[in-house]
Chains A and B, each alone.
Chain A
């Protein structure tokens, strides 16, 4: 199984304004939630003293247009709560959520509904399909709610059903489909509304490993085809690394680290993250940028060249078979060199490094 390298994917425009910006978000469950905001007590202490659960504490991040933004953390770390706060399926306790600069928290009922109908759509862990409706009607459900005419909504539903590879199953009912296919229906339903942002709450954790991998590739393919911004929740690090342009790691409701997959693996923010990524083969995630060393005076500089964002694993062959150090070039500038020594160190250091 190959992990598509980060560089392969269309890099989102870093300088453009973010499509989604979250600032100082808190969600506290329990009595007198407001008073807990800003507290520095740990979760357990809060629970003891106030009977409150601080599911999300002071989380800030930005999602760029067109990127796949992964939120990951262990069970109970507040991921689901966080993603539900984005469309106020759970009402946040404090903080700002800006969608294209507009504060979602200030929206009234009607404009919140409009936002949910047109701009953000969600895919659920257990699919959340309507058992009494066939696939076509399930997919058209969101459009029906919006009041789109029958003809139009079924035409659009057929389009997305085709897009997720379910043609031929329009008239099947959810309980006649496998888990993977049901989640394709969930995906199609979210896509049917043509939203700007797709939210996924652990969409594949209820699926078995083979199907999960297939669905991950499907998401990658769809991302290429439709280029939507995606916020993807998972507790599976390899899924996060595989899909994410950037990854946000949460623990006990708090943000621990945000960064690209190679940043997370190469420079874990603390022991928690280090522990998390310790099982990941670094050569699959890190790029040459992470292992190159400055060219020394004696180095022959006529070897082959590679870009700094090439994943180590993809460079192994080229580096080992070259007789000279491989030059890491960003355009015309020489960033550094890589030799068999660096490659072997990463591979030998393996997961423990």
Chain B
């Protein structure tokens, strides 16, 4: 957290912890604010009063100064951005920055992806088929799973790869795999050394942490378009986008592994005269190995998820299939391709998890099985894979997946039928839910946000943030809201904000109910955890498909997709918080005769408050990144602006501005939740001290 001088305030009395020198000024400002606030009536009433003023203002000034801007309308700024982007486009072959730097990177990455594609997915080297056909790739993948994992995951791998063919998506799957693998290799090549550095140097760690935070909180859609400006539409942009998303876990987890090494063991190394290089090679890296492989796993999962999203900038593969299907509302096709993505995610996840567990197992097994035994095994497995590879190189039946085995059309039709059936039979319920939430929550809120004059909304927001958060957060919000106005996207931003907040409320409702349930019952935990894990490993695109089937292409679909995307994180965090409450405290309350409800509301939730607030801020970030995806399925607003920017040249500038607006919203929301949390914590502690 920030080391700011915090104003601890409770019931009109002010106490102030000493502020750090660098932030003393800020501390003074908030002290003044707190003194003023202390003379005013209780905060809660003020917030309510402010909101009342807003509603009143809306009723009186409805429709004035709302800064509405139609879908195809542009502001001068958007036009300027367009021109600027065109200028960058034009300078691609003249500007030295491009000529000697960016273009080389682009060429290198393009070639790398093409090379892998030539190996496994695309016709290459004057052949009508790739170097390795389905039999070879499946054999090699299975061999790797067997050598680094175990028999079970090898079986899973074989079944998974065959299913790509069976679903009729062999080539698309291999394109996705090629892109993912290239991005993973490059991400690890950059991420592991940086992670080691961050593990060794506190200063570098402090330096990269905020950068990584930013990389991870920035909604992925936002940087796709700007990347194409530098790396053009195609594999290079897709790979770089994937790397931006996949490098942070590699760096973070590697650094964590390096940092976790027991200080005494390190000291033992130093005491024996190990040089820093020896300490790294002989002590730190071997001891961090298992953690680093967990990082590899996370990197792969992130890369796969992004590689599918990168379809928006023309990345080849399964993402394309899903995207096209989404655009034509073809649920069957989208489901079929989504299934392939999930299968790939499960296979990659299980194999790398098994590999990281194997590090441990291998150590023990190493004694039972001789090194020679291992060598024989490796040679045997690779030999078989090589034979399969040769077959698939030479014979067409082993190169192209047999058409007879293509069950894709059946899957599509079945999915279509199922979704139709579900829609027909659930339509009353889904419609009821949709209408209830839309009319009771979303519409009024959205009307209030978009119908009031912008200055009224901004003023209300700043006052409320002052009341529940901090001066600094209010300053950030002021600047952020002004930027939204300047970007010419005020109204779209308000629509997106409404959806985001409604989705976050739903996420937190789910998170509290299910999280508390999970935190209190081991059985529920064991039951739900795998479901949540699956939800988190699944690439975001896949959610949209069934939800689209259920709710049709509306704002609401985007909200539900965002809820599904964000709920697992929130639920897990809340459950962990509840579990973290000391058993003794719970026992004490129970023995004092507290009912289950009293226990939850008076003991467990209050004590898990920091986990709940963390869940809220994480939930917000997740929701925001998904609400944008909603642009694909009819949610309009900023998401639509971004998506339209991908496809229509004259809307590029507006798309870029919309991307910036999303980032601004994210930063403001993040700051405000943090400040509100800090204030709540401080108030709770202050209250304790003063009593």
Residue positions of A touching B, CB distance < 8 A = 87, 89, 113-118, 120-122, 124-134, 141-142, 144-146, 171, 173, 186, 189, 193, 199
Contacts and interface: CB of A to CB of B under 8 A. Distances in A.
B86 interface: no
A124 B283 CA distance: 16
A122 B273 contact: no
Nearest 10 CB-CB pairs, A to B?
A: A128-B268, A117-B273, A116-B273, A142-B272, A128-B264, A113-B273, A122-B271, A128-B265, A132-B286, A145-B274
B531 to A, nearest CB: 34
Contacts of A114: 273
Given A115-B273, A116-B271, A131-B287, 9 more contacts: A89-B271, A117-B272, A118-B273, A122-B271, A130-B287, A141-B269, A141-B272, A145-B274, A189-B268
Contacts of A131: 287
B273 A141 contact: no
A130 B267 CA distance: 11
20 contacts: A115-B273, A116-B270, A120-B271, A121-B272, A122-B268, A124-B264, A128-B267, A129-B268, A132-B286, A132-B287, A132-B363, A142-B272, A145-B273, A145-B274, A145-B275, A145-B278, A173-B364, A186-B268, A189-B268, A193-B272
Nearest to A144: B282
A316 to B, nearest CB: 44
Contact of A141 (B264, B282, B367): B282
A134 B269 CA distance: 16
Nearest to A131: B287
Contact of A173 (B271, B275, B363): B363
Contacts of A125: 264
A132 B270 contact: no
A124 B267 contact: yes
Interface string B255-284: 000000010110111111111001000110
A125 B265 CA distance: 11
Contacts, number: 68
Nearest to A125: B264
Contact of B272 (A132, A145, A171, A173): A145
A78 to B, nearest CB: 17
A253 to B, nearest CB: 20
Interface of B: 262, 264-265, 267-275, 278, 282-283, 286-287, 289, 363-364, 367
Contacts of A126: 262, 264
Contacts of B364: 173
A116 B272 contact: yes
A173 B267 CA distance: 20
Contact of A130 (B270, B283, B367): B283
Contacts of B271: 87, 89, 116, 120-122, 199
A193 B270 CA distance: 14
Nearest to A90: B267
A68 B287 CA distance: 34
B501 to A, nearest CB: 45
B93 to A, nearest CB: 51
Contacts of A118: 273
Contact of A145 (B264, B282, B289): B282
A335 B238 CA distance: 95
Nearest to B265: A128
Contacts of A193: 272
A172 to B, nearest CB: 9
Contacts of B264: 124-128
Nearest to A120: B271
B273 A130 contact: no
Nearest to B271: A122
B277 to A, nearest CB: 11
A7 to B, nearest CB: 34
A76 to B, nearest CB: 18
Contacts of B278: 145
A146 B273 contact: yes
Contacts of A115: 273
Interface centre among A129, A145, A189 (most CB of B within 10 A): A145
Contacts of B282: 130, 141, 144-145
Contacts of A189: 268, 272
Interface centre among A114, A126, A128 (most CB of B within 10 A): A128
Contacts of A186: 268
Nearest to B270: A89
Contacts of A116: 270-273
Given A121-B272, A128-B262, A141-B272, A89 B267 contact: yes
B286 A129 contact: no
Contacts of A132: 286-287, 289, 363
Contacts of A117: 272-273
B364 to A, nearest CB: 7
A133 B286 CA distance: 9
Contacts of A173: 363-364
Nearest to A128: B268
A186 B265 CA distance: 11
Contacts of B274: 145
A129 B278 CA distance: 15
Given A114-B273, A132-B287, A145-B272, A171 B367 contact: yes
Nearest to A147: B278
A115 B273 CA distance: 8
Contacts of B363: 132, 173
Contacts of A144: 282
A124 B264 CA distance: 8
A142 B269 CA distance: 8
A193 B278 CA distance: 17
B472 to A, nearest CB: 28
A121 B267 CA distance: 12
A173 B360 CA distance: 12
B373 to A, nearest CB: 16
Nearest to B279: A145
Nearest to B266: A128
A81 B645 CA distance: 63
Contacts of A133: 286
B239 to A, nearest CB: 34
A130 to B, nearest CB: 6
Given A130-B287, A131-B287, A113 B265 contact: no
Given A132-B286, A132-B363, A173-B364, A124 B268 contact: yes
Contacts of A134: 367
A118 B367 CA distance: 32
A129 B273 contact: no
Contacts of B283: 130
Contacts of B367: 134, 171
A113 B271 CA distance: 8
Contacts of B272: 116-117, 121, 141-142, 145, 189, 193
B441 to A, nearest CB: 53
Contacts of A199: 271
A113 B275 contact: yes
A304 B18 CA distance: 76
A124 B271 CA distance: 10
A120 B273 CA distance: 10
A168 to B, nearest CB: 13
A145 B277 CA distance: 11
Nearest to A171: B367
Nearest to A126: B264
Nearest to B276: A109
B275 A130 contact: no
A208 B269 CA distance: 26
A16 to B, nearest CB: 26
B140 to A, nearest CB: 29
A94 B475 CA distance: 50
B280 to A, nearest CB: 12
A114 B273 CA distance: 7
A175 to B, nearest CB: 10
B271 to A, nearest CB: 4
A130 B289 contact: no
Contacts of A124: 264, 267-268
B263 to A, nearest CB: 9
